[in-house]
Amino acid sequence: MEREEELFYSERPSKNQKFDKRLIAHVVKLAEEGTPRRDLIKTYKMTGETLGMWLDKYSSILHKRKLHSTAENRSIVRAIHGGMSIKEAVIVYNISSRSTIRNWIKAFRMKILKLVFQTRVKCLKNLRPKPKVQK
């Protein structure tokens, strides 16, 4: 197999040079067989975006990310605030990575802070004395 690979894979003289179509098919096949993406990226000197694009375009297996609704995100964040670890949440809810959950937590914190700020501003406006109308 490596002998075949040598026929169409050689170091690219510049990053602007396109990859050989046979190499693309070979890399996609390796990814489908379970070779870690990190290893493919390092071995073939490509970016993660390039590999993702190849998998989206040429793979027979769907590599799409699962989209979670806001309600699902909120319930997962609540579970973590209730005592579940992020690592446990990744396993239980089948989330792609811990950073995804951390981003959800950060986004919900920002929403809460925004709501608290808006509520306080509204309360302060109500506390101001109303100007007297002269007759």
- Give the burial string for 33-52 (b: 16+ CB within 10 Å, else e): eeeeeeebbeebebeeebbe
Asked whether residue 51 falls in the same domain as residue 81, the answer is no
In 3D space, the residue among 15, 16, 13, 37 whose CA is nearest the CA of residue 27 turns out to be: 37
- Report CA 68 to chain centroid distance, whole Å: 12
Q: pLDDT tens digits, residue range 110-128?
A: 988 888 888 877 777 777 6
Q: Residue 60's pLDDT is what? A: 77
Question: Could you tell me the residue range of the domain that residue 92 belongs to?
Answer: 70-127
Q: pLDDT tens digits, residue range 70-93?
A: 899 999 999 998 999 999 998 888
Q: Please check whether residue 65 lies inside any domain of the structure.
A: no
If one counts the domains in the chain, the total is 2
Asked whether residue 82 falls in the same domain as residue 117, the answer is yes
Place of tokens 């609704």: 69
Asked whether residue 80 falls in the same domain as residue 122, the answer is yes
Whole-model pTM: value is: 0.45
Give the span between the Cα atoms of 48 and 135, in whole angstroms: 73
SS3 (DSSP) at 43 = helix
